[in-house]
Amino acid sequence: MTVDDFLLQYFDSKSPSPIVDTNFTAQMEGQLDLIEENKLEWVDVVRSFWGGFAETLEEAKKASAVDLPEPEPIGEDCPECGKPLVKKRGRFGDFIACSGYPECRYTRPILKTIGVKCPLCGETENGEVVRRRSKKGKFFYGCSRYPECKYVSWNEPTGEKCPECGTPLVRKNKKSLPECPECGWKKEKK
């Protein structure tokens, strides 16, 4: 159940405290205006709201807010403590974590490869290129073996080599044709 579904289930227009209903919001703003004009006591407004809200809140607390899947074993052991690693879901998506949490705090992201071997270590160490996000939110491409392999590129590698100089070809964006970042060679449109 998503957060939106949960809020709508307990706090929609049919509940005693419809805080996610636009009519409730409009009514509350009207009451706040009357309080500002000294035509209504704020204590009375809060009291009339709080009764239904507290009751609905207690009911919602008893329910399961979010249905998170059980951690799923991935068949690997933790490199720090040796306990099994599991796939978990967090607020930023799925990730790998040690089943020994909280004693062991080992985690790592689930890397999604783009199907291209790393130009630096792919032939010898089986590194693959993965799409990552920088601290500022921009996407870049790097080796799955980081920090052992330092390959990084803002442009997406294609897995092909330049026919003129042998440098790995890249795409500057999804619509562009592969080109060589070293000599400038561009693949012709067919």
pLDDT at res. 78: 95
Interhelix angle for 22-36 vs 42-62, to 10°? 150
The answer to whether residue 79 scores a pLDDT higher than 80 is: yes
pLDDT at res. 28: 86
pLDDT at res. 93: 78
Structure tokens at 166: 């042998």
Structure tokens at 83: 């306990």
pLDDT at res. 112: 83
The answer to whether residue 1 scores a pLDDT higher than 60 is: no
> Is the peptide bond between 147 and the residue preceding it cis, with omega within 30 degrees of 0?
yes
Tell me what the mean pLDDT of segment 87-110 comes to.
89
Residue identified by tokens 């074993």 is 73
| Residue in 140, 138, 161, 165 with CA at minimum distance from that of residue 150 | 140
Q: Do the Cβ atoms of 130 and 146 come closer than 8 Å? A: no
Residue identified by tokens 């249905």 is 67
Distance CA 128, CA 151 (A): 10
Structure tokens at 46: 């809060």
Q: How confident is the model at residue 48 (pLDDT cuts 50, 70, 90)?
A: confident
pLDDT at res. 126: 84
The answer to whether residue 65 scores a pLDDT higher than 60 is: no
The answer to whether residue 67 scores a pLDDT higher than 70 is: no
113-171 residue pLDDT tens: 899 999 888 778 888 999 988 888 888 999 988 889 999 999 999 989 999 998 999 99
The answer to whether residue 73 scores a pLDDT higher than 90 is: yes
Structure tokens at 121: 């270590």
DSSP 186: B
The answer to whether residue 68 scores a pLDDT higher than 80 is: no
